[in-house]
Structures are given as C-alpha cells and as structure tokens.
Structure 1
Amino acid sequence: MDSYDDKGVGGGVGGSVGGGVSEGDGGVGEGDVSGAGLDLRTVPEPRAGMAGLSFPYQVVAAVALSVIGLIACVQLAMVFLHVAPSNTLTKQHGEAVDQWIYPEFEQNWKLFAPNPLQQNIAVHVRAEISGADKRRTTPWMSLSGEDGKAIRGNLLPSHVQQNELRRGWDFYLGSHDSQNRANGLRGKLSEQYIRRIVMLRLSEHDYGGDILRIQVRSETRSVAAPVWSSEKISTRPSYRVLPWWTVTAADLPEGSATSKEADQ
C-alpha cells in the first residue's frame, strides 16, 4: 500500500506544497510568503525628512526655507555694511541700510565703554491744542517719567518701555548738531522717529481738542556723588529745547481717528 508521502499528499514534512513548513526551519519559509503574494525584499523603507512629505508640502517647505535663507543673507549684508568703513555702497545706499538697521538692529557698544554715562536724561513734550474756544498750550509732560512708572515694580518690563524713547533720543542727538541741524542721512529719519513716538504717547491722553504742534526738550542732570566721596557735582538741570514741529498725517499713529481725518 502506497504511503501518503509517496503520493505527495500535503501535510507531510518536506513537501513542496506552499502551505507547508520548511524543513529544519520551524517557521514559515520563503515559499510560503511567495505563495501569499508578498515579497519582503520589495517592501520600501519609510522616508525621513522632507522626502517623506507629499510633493505639494515639499514645494511649500522648499519655498519657506528659501525665503528664510534670503532674509538671513540680507540681514548679514546690511549689518556688514552698517559696521564697515565708508565705501561706495554705503555712500550710494546708506539711507536704505540705516532704515533696515535702525532702531531694532542697531550695533551699540556702550555696555563695554570704560566710562559709562553719569547723567540722568529725561525727555519732555508739550503740545499746542486747538480747542472749541481757542488754542492753548499744555504743560510739559515727562515721557521718561511715564516709562519709569511702567517699569518700577514690573518683573518683566517690555523692550518698548525700557529702550524705545531712550534709544530714539540718542538716535536724534547723534544725527544733529547743537543747533538741531541734521548732520547726515540719518537726520530726517531720526526726527520722524521722535515725532511718531511723541504722537503715539500723546494719543493716550485726551486733551479736548486736536494737536496742532508739538515741542520736545530734554532735561539733563548729573548723577550726585556718593556720600563717601568728596567730589562736588552740580545736579542742577540743563535743558535742550527743540523747535516747534507742526503735526502732519505722517506723525499720527496708524488707525487713529485723527489720522483718518488728516488723510481725508
């Protein structure tokens, strides 16, 4: 009588039927996988990084990286031209470089100066108001004092409260002579910056009329000597008063009602 093995009936060890178990392996053989319609050697590995994104997202990522790289290159070029000695490019495009750098990216080394500032400087402003009955001039208001109140007791004061007015005033002084005449390309830009800061601060107050003109001054006081020092220092204030400036639409905060009326 013939055995099952001789007849090739499935289920025997070492048979050639695809559902059988490979000899000496104890597991599913290669022939079993092939019989199931799968081939492990052709399964692709998952892609990482941008290659793993779909084509539209790859395009978006490539464009974003290109824009970031371009902005970084422009920033490095502008900073280099700003700190570099005077050359042909800075003479022709100095105003564009200054507009890019100031005031956010200014390179300032006063932190490392051997002789730090020994004066307290406060910026004041007053305005000429057109009321319902007549024109009047407001008292001097200390813009620096308002910044000081906002900083005291504040654990996390903003950069605007600490540096906007101070750096803007330094910017103006560095670009004007003692007669308030601009001494370079930065003069007009620094004046526009101060005027906008002042109007932004004045817009927070209600004076009962329209602001026609503004006048800015600085009050400088020397820091008093410490009690243990024999040095005699006068702390009497000295003032630098700027001329009256007529308010224009360019000086007003964007979006304010007065700005819209001036534009119309």
Structure 2
Amino acid sequence: MRQRNKLFPAVAFVAITALTVHFAVVILSLTPDNPVKNRHQDAINKYTDPLFTQNWMLFAPNPVSQHRNLSAQARIANPQSGEITETEWVDITGPLIKEKQENRISSEAIVARHIISGLRAYLSKDKGRQRDGEKMLQRAASTALAHHWSDQDIREVRLRIITQAVPSFQERYLPDDSIQRNFHESDWLPFAPAEEEWPR
C-alpha cells in the first residue's frame, strides 16, 4: 500500500507533464506566425498532422473551394507467364467517405484523415512535403488495392488525384460532369502496403 502511495505522485507528474506538452504544442500550432513557431515548424507539423490539425476553411471568408479525390491503379503480374497488365482505376476515397458518414468513429475516419493529409502534402510546393505526401498516398493506395485484388501479384501502383472546384451558389444545380476537373497522376511507384489492418 505504501509503495502504491509513493508511485502515484510520479505517475501523476508524468501524466500532467505529457498533457501540458501536448496542449502547448497544439496551441502553438494554432497561433499566427511567430519566431518560436517558425523555428520549430517541422517538429510541430510532425506531431499535429494528421490527427490534431484544424482546417478553418469551413468558415467565411475563405470556405473550401475544391474537392480532392484519390484513385489508383495497379500493375499485376500473371503467375504463369509473368506478363504485366495494368488494371482499371479504383476509387480509394469514395468508399472511405461513405463509411465515415455512416459511422463517424469508425477506423475509416482515421484512414480518411491520413489520405487528406497526404494529399495536402503531395500537392504542396515544398519538395520535402511532396515526398512525404507521396509516401503516405503510396502506402494508402497499396493497402487499398491489396484488399481489392487480394489474390493477385501486385508489383506497382500509380496515383491519380482528381481536383474538382466546388460550384458557386448560382451554379449549385448544375450536374457534376459540367464542373471542371483537374487530374494529377504520379509515376509508377513500388507496391508498399501497410502491415496493419485496412478498413474494409
């Protein structure tokens, strides 16, 4: 009993310190640009992105103006002949968003945030962030395609990011196919699925 009483202050100290550091980093990430934030920007981004990021573009005066979707295709090897064939494009984000809307605390919500963060990094102007984003999307697409073609020998994957402008209020009744879309395709990347379970 005495040993337990001695252990409690140490555990409480560690927990309070961890929470203090966590909230300090999150608050610092939300502050306007300042010397401390600029000096530690990389460490702050690595800690907060993707789970603790906050996107304020939902609100005026700068609401979200475009939607991004991730698709992927694979190169599959024939087990008998070794011939490589390219598959059709598979929508990666659509099924995740549908599952997330039906169950807000599902594992699909975590994967969707991972993909959104990867898309944001991949399309940034910073070369280091582009490489990080490509790795995140490569892993997500490889894992999704591994479940889609579970009995196939997948060798490589290719990413396609579809950016579609959100219509203005006056154009809200126009059909989706009348709105301009931009396509960005990656090079072929090695097949690199995640080891942990992917939401089905």
**Matched ranges for 1:65-214 at <5 A:** 65-84=12-31, 85=33, 87=35, 90-91=38-39, 93-132=40-79, 133=81, 134-151=83-100, 154=102, 156-158=103-105, 160-162=107-109, 164-165=111-112, 168-169=115-116, 171-174=118-121, 176-177=123-124, 183=126, 185-214=128-157
Structure 1, unaligned runs of 5 or more:
1-53, 257-264
2:185 aligns with one of 235, 241, 253:
241
Contact 1:121 1:219 in 2 (8 A): yes
Q: Whose RCO is larger (CA < 8 A, sep 6+)? A: 2
What SS does the corresponding residue of 1:157 show, helix, strand or coil?
coil
1:160–1:114 CA distance, 2 compared to 1 (3 A): farther
For 1:208 and 1:219, locate their aligned partners in 2 and report how far apart those are by CA, in whole Å: 28
Count of matched residue positions in the alignment of Structure 1 and Structure 2: 189
| Residue identity in the other structure for 2:193 | L
**Distance change in 2, residues 1:204/1:173 (3 Å):** same
Residues 92-127 of structure 1: per-residue CA shift (max 9 Å, x gap): x54332221111111321232324234443211111
Once the two structures are TM-superposed, the CA of residue 186 in structure 1 deviates from its matched residue by 3.1
| Aligned equivalents of 1:105, 1:114: Cα separation in 2 | 23
**Greater share of residues in helix:** 2
Inter-partner Cα distance in structure 1 for 2:24 and 2:128: 19
Aligned counterpart, 1:56: 3
4+ residue runs of structure 1 moved beyond 6 angstroms? none
Deviation at 1:240, TM superposition (A): 1.6
CA contact (8 A) 2:162 2:182 kept: yes
Larger radius of gyration: 1
The root-mean-square deviation of aligned C-alpha atoms, in Å, is 3.1
Match of 1:5 in 2: none
> 1:129-161: CA deviations, max 9, x gaps?
223121111110001221244246x2x333643
Percent identity of equivalent pairs: 21
**Corresponding residue to 2:195 among 250, 254, 258:** 254
Task: Give yes or no for contact 1:144–1:165 (8 Å, CA) kept in 2.
Answer: yes
Give the aligned residue type for 1:197: A
Normalised TM-score (structure 2): 0.74
In structure 2, stretches of 5+ residues that fail to align are none
